[in-house]
Structure 1
């Protein structure tokens, strides 16, 4: 495995971005006076720069000023410029913006008047101090031939270094970074995946569980202090959606599994605090400022793909079902009632308004591919009944299948019954498996409008690829799911087993599953053209130290048209 080296021009730009030197002069053409380097700076740009939500003629630009203590309670004027060169000499747009403690000193500019498919550079200045230069790109014209997306999920600061971001920042020819949820985690400093945090120098701040607006702001500030995340933001525009950990574990519309109202206060207040901090710290354009909870939106990359960013978490989701509630007093599981409830039309994942919006977007799109950027697995991840009921483990069931082929007479009656049972059940109710009617509605709209669908997912910390079939078994599309940036995967559940054997076991047990990687941290690179959509899974060898190597370990693709729309092999690039 080898590190990917950027071209010399991009390498130099990354070197400049990584530099933490504060430049003395203000932006050219701005009336911000120079500051003597010996003087105390009124502000600093400690959290870098970012861009996001590109359109053909505009892009969101983001930064944050960190004021000196004596200027913490005053407003700060921030100047911005957009140029066609990294030296910031050929300026095409500029302006100023006032920020203060009311928005946590963050700055968001919707820079308009740009050209389609162009690379631009941008910079901020305040009180004579300049930020690093950022690089961004607008959406292309209709005649674009190829689109490349880098897809990330589940970046837990105390769980390890952001080497995945560092590797992605070195890549060439990526158009946009997609972060499809769990950009931060809300746990206290001794919470999930924190056992190595002190040794790594990555103990969560604040130390307490995030509940108030200031708590979420401090956590975003800590994440955005990371140099690898800053580097990636500085070279690529981001398109993001939230998942549960930007709020609380297993969030739904009116609550969360990890939120206790008597202990933590009203969930509505916590949700508002988390949402406010998200909009302050992420370079996202709100489609409707009057309804900041509605972040579903679409991006058209010419006639190659339409990207529909969905909110499967907050705006419409009903509370998750609990399998434990389907056991009677004799500890018998009511399979029929369970299957009826998970498929009930009353259970919603997206909500009716978002579902109508999605169909409108899909119907009017002229792109070859309809790509859903969203949080949780859409594929059917159903296990044999004996596993779902906890009667045997995945390992024991897989071994039992092998024994049945070699020595069937040696199987006991109970074991024979496990293998003979034709029923499979979903076990993870937080995914689309727990909202099956909404999943069928999405499949139905793709069928009605004869669209080629690719679903992107995260959430589980593991990499997956699955064929998507509707309830009648018809092939609808494919799903590519990314591994996590740092959060641990299934390796912790199978410490004594070869990870490749565990992945092979998952593929064997789950019918639609084509590929699994259950022990490594990484991301996906999606390359779309009119001819195919290709997914390259890229993994780093460690997140426990700064030095790492990275490699593309698997590549799969799908082809358009009703006779295709399924996963197939392709050669490595």
Structure 2
């Protein structure tokens, strides 16, 4: 079969006639770039005048300055969280009472548990309380009290057992505080007010906090960060205190149980990072997270017979990230290590846990939470005669830099006939949908994973740095990746929601019109569905 390359400019070229250097020149022409020099108007903006930063640690106000939250529910237990203000601590800690009830009124006969919790300075006055002995598939309300004060009431939900008609969840990532207001979280919290849109669970795929303050030539008045670079545990604690002071983020935590993993900006990009110890300690203090193994974030949660959710860690055990060759990507000819089967991003133990978990699970839908984009993000595809997985890849930090491990996962799903595998990814600041087969260059290869990548809540997008916009890049990427890429949007912020049923999964990409103001209306960027047993993404009218 003769392969052609259709550029955004409308130029059609035979793929076999293009060497890799010629392919790069074609890509430059297609998006308005020539001779390796970014065209006028596409250079990053100069930095605005950022406010002075004091370097002082942030502290919130009120007896519960970070609100309340819950996380990692099982069929009979849930983790509840809050933080007491340290000014109330005389040196012995602060003794809190945790209440959980079947009604927000906490009336007689409605309180099912009252548990003590001691907030101390060695955990930044955070408490995580595991409440056990709960009923499956049940909504509970909870609150904390001490010294005559009572917290905001939070709502949580236990997982079901057995047959389940529906799971509704949301996924978000990348919420740099200084880049804008959390209008996406305002919308997300508001979904709880309508039974028709209410959710069971929220997945945070990482970059909950950012180790750096101002970046990317962006300053939004009212979103100041006193610390430019967090390196110590106390500085990362300050970041969490600042982020969790936001009322919209507090509202999301109070409305839904959340399942969190960290990513690079949370303080660990790769093994050996200098600030990792303090950053990860602050993560476990300020978010309620269960561990499959001590200190680990990779774990699974069941939602009855309908779904099992596998949260993964693509930072802690990875082999070193390969050097990239330039802004247009890195080819597997230049970096054959991309296809080295001995390279890993998951590490051997986690990889075996994930592979075995996916093939052994008796849940109908398998849901992978991935910090990083999984689908092949290529500027050019495989040339004739090259091995499977070849191409020119745009980001070697993500799964593209560990393509052999990606192929091993897809091959495992195919060999074991594992169906109904979904993947939600973050980090890229891009809304995307893809159906990934073991051989994305072969249209007959059956997709094994349907992926939905969520855009950032606030963190800067490419167009906000004056890089080529979707009008240029989207047609080109679709032409280069015709078999797997189904949707691509890099200019909007927001999050994803999904409704999983026995017959299908339906997904929405939701985006506020602005993050530069404290309030915003929300638009639906795309609606999609995956019919059961297909792993194929169908685009619907928004």
Q: State the TM-score bracket (shorter-chain normalisation).
A: 0.7 to 0.9
Find the counterpart in structure 1 of residue 540 from structure 2: 570
Structure 2 residue 77 is the aligned partner of structure 1 residue 58: yes
Deviations 1:257-313 (A, max 9, x none): xxxxxxxxxx2xx2110010000001112233xx21x21111111122111001111
Find the counterpart in structure 2 of residue 503 from structure 1: 474
1:88–1:457 CA distance, 2 compared to 1 (3 A): same
1:500–1:528 CA distance, 2 compared to 1 (3 A): farther
Find the counterpart in structure 2 of residue 195 from structure 1: 218
Aligned residues of 1:43 and 1:68 also touching (Cα < 8 A): no
Deviations 1:68-117 (A, max 9, x none): 27x35331101001000011121011110112101000010011111111
Rg bigger for which structure? Answer: 1
Find the counterpart in structure 2 of residue 382 from structure 1: 378
Aligned residues of 1:462 and 1:490 also touching (Cα < 8 A): no
Matches within 5 A, 1:14-163: 44-68=63-87, 71=89, 73-89=91-107, 90-163=110-183
- Give the alignment partner of residue 204 of structure 1, picking from 222, 225, 235: 225
SS at match of 1:319: coil
Aligned residues of 2:64 and 2:151 also touching (Cα < 8 A): yes
Deviations 1:377-396 (A, max 9, x none): 1101111289x9xxxxxxxx
- Give the alignment partner of residue 298 of structure 2, picking from 296, 302, 306: 296
- Point out the structure with the larger helix share: 1
Aligned residues of 2:332 and 2:339 also touching (Cα < 8 A): no
TM-score norm. by structure 1 comes to 0.77
Residues of 2 paired with 1:548 and 1:500: CA distance? 24
Aligned residues of 1:159 and 1:194 also touching (Cα < 8 A): no
RMSD: 2.3
Matches within 5 A, 1:301-450: 301-314=303-316, 316-324=317-325, 336=333, 338=335, 340-384=336-380, 424-450=391-417
Residues of 2 paired with 1:175 and 1:211: CA distance? 35
Residues of 2 paired with 1:343 and 1:334: CA distance? 11
Find the counterpart in structure 2 of residue 467 from structure 1: 435
Residues of 1 paired with 2:168 and 2:472: CA distance? 31
Deviations 1:472-509 (A, max 9, x none): 74222211100110012121355685x45543443234
Aligned residues of 1:120 and 1:136 also touching (Cα < 8 A): yes
SS at match of 1:114: coil
Structure 2 residue 516 is the aligned partner of structure 1 residue 544: yes
1:183–1:469 CA distance, 2 compared to 1 (3 A): same
Q: CA deviation at 1:254?
A: 2.6
SS at match of 1:486: coil
Residues of 1 paired with 2:334 and 2:471: CA distance? 36
Deviations 1:422-443 (A, max 9, x none): 9731120011010012112211
Deviations 1:346-365 (A, max 9, x none): 21010100011112322331
Aligned residues of 1:523 and 1:537 also touching (Cα < 8 A): yes
SS at match of 1:300: strand
Tell me the number of residue pairs that the alignment of Structure 1 and Structure 2 aligns.
461
Residues of 2 paired with 1:385 and 1:148: CA distance? 36
Residues of 2 paired with 1:334 and 1:173: CA distance? 44
Q: CA deviation at 1:343?
A: 1.1
Aligned residues of 1:377 and 1:432 also touching (Cα < 8 A): yes
Residues of 2 paired with 1:426 and 1:155: CA distance? 26
Residues of 1 paired with 2:264 and 2:241: CA distance? 19
Structure 2 residue 453 is the aligned partner of structure 1 residue 488: no
Deviations 1:206-226 (A, max 9, x none): x23110010000010000000
